[in-house]
Structures are given as C-alpha cells and as structure tokens.
Amino acid sequence: MNKGFRILFETYDLHNPQSILSHATIMEGVVTKPTNCLDFSLQHEQQIELIQVTMDKVISEKAKLLNQDINECQKCNGKIIKRGTHTSTFHDVFTDHHVKIQRLSCVNCNYEPPSTVRTMLNSTLSGCLAKVQSELGSDYTFRDGEKILKIFSAKDREINNHKRIKEVTKSIGETLVEIGNSEKELLKIDEANELIVNVDGGHVKTTEDQRSIEALTSVIYRPESLLPNKKDTRNYISSKHCAASVKNDEQSEIITNTILAALKQGLTPNTKITALCDGASNCWRVVEALRPLCGGMTCILDWFHISMKMQNISLPEKLKIKFLRVKWHLWRGNTEAAITRIQQLIKAAKSTGAIDKLKKFELYIQNNLARIVNYYERKKKGLIFTSNLAESTVESLINQRCKGQQHMRWSREGLNPILQLRAIINTIEWKNKWKTAVLNSAL
C-alpha cells in the first residue's frame, strides 16, 4: 500500500469540539522509505514552509478578534461602521506575515480606531523574535547575527539585517537598565550569610579620541553556589548576579548596579563579604561602596592577577629561582620578605626592561599591601582566594563579544546597552525578564 500524509488546520468550538468552524489543508506529501539522513524528515525549506502556512492561519484567526468589540466612537460616541481592512506586516521568529485587520470609522466625526499591527500591538516584531535578535546581538557581531538568522530561516529576511539587530539589542539593553532602576524599591531579600564579590575591568578599542575605553564588570554570588565542573575544567557558579558598565560617569552606574546585584543575592547588614580585585583603584572603589551595607568585608588581591603579572616578567635563568622565592613569600602573605626579594632582584638585573617591570611589580605590591593575605592558608581551609576558580567575568561579559575581531571599535553609547544585556543573560534573571524588556522596548 502506498501511503501519503496530510497536515490539517481546523478551528472548532471549544464548548463543542466536534463542531468544526473552518478547515484547511496545510501540507500534503508521500510517505517514502528513507534511504539516508537527507530524506528521513522534511527538508529545511519544507519545515519553514510548514511553519509559514500554519502561522498564517493562526495569526489570521487572531487578527479577526481585533476591533470586533468596538461599536461606539471614543471621541464623539457616534456609531462605528466597518470600512474595509488594513494590511500590516508582522515578523515572527522564522516567518513574515501579511495581516488583515478590520478597519473602522465613525459615521459622525470620521475618527478611525487603530487598525494596524504596530498601532495596536506597539511593534511589528513578535516578542520571541526580539528576544532571539537581542541574544544574538549580545553574543555575536551584528553581521554574524544576521548570517545566523539567515541560516535558520533558510532565506534572507529584511527584518533580520544587522542594523535591525543592532537597534533591537540597544533598545532592550537600555530597557533593562530602566527595569533595574525600578526594582530597587521592590526587592525581597533572602538573607545571605556570606557573599563573594569579584570586580574586574577590560579594555576595548574605541571610536573615541583615546585608543581604548575600560569597561568594568562585577559578579556576586554565595560561596555555596560555586560548584565543581568536569575534570580539568573550571568550576561553575550555579546562581549569580552580574553588573557591567562602560559609562564615563565617575563609576555611578557600575556602583549602583553592583549594589543592586548584591542585594539580589541577599546582601543585608549582617552579611560578610569577601571581595576579589585585580588591584586597580577603580575596582576597589566599587567594592568599597558595599562596605557600609554589609556586616564586614575582607578585601583580597586576586591571586590570579598576581600570578599573571609575575608571568609577564622575563628574567635570566639564574634570577628565576630567586623570583620564585618572591612568589613563595607572597603565597604565604609575607609581603615584607617578598618586597625585600624584589628589591634584590632589581639590583641584580641587567636588562632595563626587566628592571622596569620589577619596579612596577614592587609598586603593585606596595599599593595592595593591606589586601595580600595568606593564600596558602585560605586554600587549605577551602576559602576563596582567587577568581580563577570559576569562569572569568571579564571574558564572558566583555572579551567574548567586544574583542573577537581586530577591526571592532566601540563608543560608550553603543557598548553599554550590550553590556547590560550580557550581564542579565549571564544570570538567572533573563528567563524571567525578557518578556518585560521586550514589551517595554521601542521595537
């Protein structure tokens, strides 16, 4: 027996499912024996066509409900009559649709109620398409986002051009800032006994006068949220809140967003904070903004950054062993002995480059004396001593998106909405916030 298939679309009375109101064939085909992975299912273009025709029907049925209950003019209370239809365009995740909406008019004053998709729904994009575009815009270049959407839609779509993706990403990123500002008075805090705060910065190339601009990021989480990952990979943080900013506003936004992130993680006047930074004064200023709000704070110069700075200092073989003693002393928090060793190395070094780097490293240690701890003891006790135990916030929020291509240049205005979006997407909040962000964005 030869077998075919038929996909149908029907509308029916919910109170009497046997009563069919409309009936249409969506797709027909022949059931054939598959010979390989290419003919086991429908082709990509056929799948998109199935979505297209099905959604045409669904959207058409929903459009019929628009304006059906308007009988009286809201301007003069006159009688409303039908005046044909308006055809609008509506863009969904994979498909584009032409939607007919009933057009109405007042017999007295000629007032016409809204009868287009944009005027009635505030956007010609589906919320899901805006979500997808903003996520791609935050993770990839806008042109790469356009290419990805073309692949999945199986065709070029004007709504998915790189300029449109940029506009949507910017709008939703700015809206998330407004949502965050409105949340400050509404937070319900589940008290945390301890929080880990990591503040770091990353430089990106700029379109402005200077060669680069610095973006600051912070991540806040509870110690119990740091969980082991697969062997030979970094741990992961099961629950965290992030903040980011590149604004030139004397750190106002990054401080405000960091405080808000800490409150969402359970910051109270009884919470103990362990803060990790790379040693830069602007990062410590963000951390210090939390001090009046907590029950105590331990500031630690991130061991990861100490190690990285030491790796960047090249010395002759005979001096490398002595330099390892510097690391040994710093690992145990013995800063006085470490500085003495550094000064001895400066006298022994012959290279101007090595001497300059050693002097800068000594200054780095001197500037952070109060924040260098006994890392050895903290590790033995299972306490946090480095940000390198988990994924890098700078890498995930800044570098992966903003430094992937050499030609990429950013303005503060263009980069900041993307950072806000990436900060939310990298936390548990995006799942609950994207609908609010889409509905309140100018799309």
Count how many domains the chain has: 3
Looking at the fold, whether 81 and 170 belong to one and the same domain comes out as: no
CA angle, residues 221, 227, 229, in degrees to nearest 5: 130
Looking at the fold, whether 135 and 22 belong to one and the same domain comes out as: no
Looking at the fold, whether 101 and 147 belong to one and the same domain comes out as: no
Average pLDDT over residues 110-130: 94
Tracing tokens 């301007």 back to the chain, one arrives at: 75
CA angle, residues 379, 385, 389, in degrees to nearest 5: 90
Residue 240, SS3? strand
Q: Which of 284, 327, 276 lies closest to 302, judged by CA?
A: 276
Backbone φ and ψ of 312, nearest 5°: -85, 0
Q: What is the DSSP string of 320-352?
A: HHHHHHHHHHHHTT-HHHHHHHHHHHHHH---H
The DSSP code for 29 is E
Q: How confident is the model at residue 297 (pLDDT cuts 50, 70, 90)?
A: very high
Looking at the fold, whether 286 and 351 belong to one and the same domain comes out as: yes
Write down the pTM of the prediction. Answer: 0.80
Q: Which one of 106, 121, 136 terminates a domain?
A: 121
Residue 233, pLDDT > 70, answer no
Residue 406, pLDDT > 60, answer no
The amino acid sitting at 404 is G
The amino acid sitting at 383 is L
Looking at the fold, whether 85 and 226 belong to one and the same domain comes out as: no
Residue 111, pLDDT > 90, answer yes
Residue 394, pLDDT > 80, answer no
Residue 189 lies in a domain: no
Average pLDDT over residues 353-362: 92
Residue 149 lies in a domain: yes
pLDDT reported for residue 321: 87
Cα end-to-end distance, the chain, whole Å: 53
Residue 220 lies in a domain: yes
Looking at the fold, whether 317 and 272 belong to one and the same domain comes out as: yes
Looking at the fold, whether 22 and 147 belong to one and the same domain comes out as: no
Q: How confident is the model at residue 405 (pLDDT cuts 50, 70, 90)?
A: low
The full length of the chain comes to 443
Higher pLDDT, 151 or 394: 151
The amino acid sitting at 270 is N
pLDDT reported for residue 188: 64
Higher pLDDT, 143 or 230: 143
Residue 188 lies in a domain: no
Looking at the fold, whether 107 and 23 belong to one and the same domain comes out as: yes
Q: Which one of 70, 98, 121 terminates a domain?
A: 121
Residue 160 lies in a domain: yes
Q: Which one of 121, 142, 162 terminates a domain?
A: 121
Q: Please enumerate in sequence order all residues whose Cβ is within 8 A of that of 124, keeping only pairs 6 or more positions apart, or say none.
A: 88, 89, 90, 91, 117, 118, 159, 443
- pLDDT tens digits, 47-58: 999 999 999 999
Query: What are the start-end ranges of the H helices in 154-280?
Result: 162-183, 252-264
What angle, 0 to 180 degrees and rounded to 10, lies between the N-to-C axes of helices 162-183 and 412-425?
Answer: 70
pLDDT reported for residue 272: 97
Q: Please enumerate in sequence order all residues whose Cβ is within 8 A of that of 243, keeping only pairs 6 or more positions apart, or say none.
A: 217, 218, 220, 254, 257, 258, 260, 261, 423
Looking at the fold, whether 207 and 345 belong to one and the same domain comes out as: yes
pLDDT reported for residue 178: 86
Using CB atoms within 10 Å of the CB of residue 312, give its burial: 0 to 12 exposed, 13 to 18 middle, 19+ buried: exposed
Looking at the fold, whether 152 and 100 belong to one and the same domain comes out as: no
Tokens at residue 14, please?
């919910």
Looking at the fold, whether 46 and 95 belong to one and the same domain comes out as: yes
pLDDT reported for residue 392: 63
Domain that holds residue 416: 194-424
Q: How confident is the model at residue 411 (pLDDT cuts 50, 70, 90)?
A: confident
Looking at the fold, whether 271 and 407 belong to one and the same domain comes out as: yes
